[in-house]
Amino acid sequence: MKKFSLWCDFIENSFLDNEFLTLLENKINGATSNPSIFKNAILNSASYKEKISRLKGKKAKEIYEELAVLDIQKAADKLALKFFNNDDGFISIEIDPRFYDNTALSLGEAKRLYTAIARENVMIKIPATPASYEVMYELMKIGVNVNATLVFSLEQSQKCFEALNEGLKAFRKNNISLNPDCAKKIRSPKGVISIFVSRFDRLLNSKALEKNRIGILNANLAYNNIIRNNEPNIRALFASTGVKGDDLAKDYYIKELLFENSINTAPLDAIHAFQKDFEFKKPLMNFELYTELNKIISQDEREKACQILLDDGLEQFCRAFEEILRVL
C-alpha cells in the first residue's frame, strides 16, 4: 500500500495541548525535535518558567532533560493512538549532540533517555557520524526505534541503512526467530534515515546552474538507496524541508518529494500550506539523477558540501544545546 507521512518538526509544551491536536486530526502522524527546537521552546516560552524555577538547584543538564522528557512523554501520549493503529505515531528526541564522536557515551545516553521516557513510540535521534553507526546497530538490536539524523551524503545513508538493518535482523533473530509463537506479539523496532534537503540549496544555489534542485535530487538518490532494500521497518525521512524567503511556496520541498513510503518532517508554515489531496511523484532513477546533478553542479562541489553541511549541523546543535545549559 502506498503511504506518505507528514511529521511536525516542532514541539513546545503549550503547543502540544492546542494546535498539535488539530494537526493530528487532519495533517500529521508524527513529530520530531532537536536541540535547536528545544532551545527556542525552553528559552522563549513562558510555559517553562515555573518548571525551571522548581528545578533550581539541579545541574543544568538535569533540568534540561527533565523538561525535554516531559514534553516528549506528552507528545508520545498524544501520538499513541496513531502508533497502536500502525499509522506511525512517533516522536524523536536527540541525545546530547556533543557526544557525536563518542560511541560509548552516545549509547549510554540513548539507553538512559529511552528508559526515562518509557514510551514505545519514541525514536532516539543519533547523528550519522563514524562513531554513531555502532550506536544505531546496538539500539535496534535491543528494540529501540532510531532516527538517524544529519544525513547529507549517499555514503552516510548507506552506512545508516546497514547499521539499522543489521540491528533489526539481530533483534528479529533474538526475539522472533527463536520464539516464533511470540512473533505476533512482538513489535520490531523502526528506523528512519533523515536526509537533509534545503540546506544544500541554501549553500550551493549561488554556484548552481539551476536553483533549488540540488537538495531534491540528492535526497532522491538516498531514497532510492533505501527503498531498493525493501525493508518496511527502515524508511527515508526528508528533513530540513523549510523554505527561507518568498521565492518558493512554503510547501515546495514537501510537494517535490512526495515519494511513496517516505516521511517528510516539516516546519509549521510548510505543514499549513500543504494540502493532502496530492498525487505521488515518481522518483527519478539514479542515472537520471546523476545526469541532472552533473549539469547543475560538479560532483566535487557536492561532495565538499556534504562535509561542510554535516560539520555545520553538528556545530549548530552543539551550540544550541550549550546555550540552553548556560541559561538554565
pLDDT one-digit tens code per residue, 117-133: 999 999 999 999 999 99
3-class SS at 327?
A: helix
Total length of the chain: 328
Q: CA 242, CA 226: separation in Å to the nearest integer?
A: 23
Average pLDDT over residues 202-210: 96
DSSP string, 72-129: HHHHHHHHHHHHHTTS--EEEEE--GGGTT-HHHHHHHHHHHHHHH--TTEEEEEE-S
pLDDT of residue 181: 63
Instruction: Calculate mean pLDDT across residues 239-267.
Output: 95
pLDDT value of residue 296: 97
pLDDT of res. 3: 87
User: What pLDDT score does 278 carry?
Assistant: 83
Phi, psi (5° rounding) for residue 288? -70, -40
> Average pLDDT in the 259-272 region?
97
125 is catalytic: yes
Candidate list 39, 82, 125, 159, residue with the active-site label:
125
Question: How far, in Å, CA of 220 to CA of 224, rounded?
Answer: 6
For residue 53, give the CATH number of its domain: 3.20.20.70
Domain count, the chain: 1
- pTM here is 0.96
- The answer, yes or no, to whether residue 180 has pLDDT greater than 70, is no
What's the whole-number mean pLDDT along residues 198-205?
Answer: 97
Beta-bridge partner residues of 262: 4
Quote the domain boundaries for residue 70: 4-327
Residue 186 has a pLDDT of 81
Whether residue 43 is predicted with pLDDT greater than 80 in this model: the reply is yes
Q: Is the per-residue pLDDT at 21 higher than 80?
A: yes
Q: How far apart are CA 177 and CA 181, in angstroms?
A: 9
pLDDT digits (tens, 9 = 90+) for 91-119: 999 999 999 999 999 999 999 999 999 99
Rounded to an integer, the average pLDDT of 242-259 is 94
Report residue 246's pLDDT band, with 50, 70 and 90 as the boundaries. Answer: confident
pLDDT the model gives residue 182: 61
Instruction: Give the whole-angstrom CA distance, residue 43 versus residue 287.
Output: 47
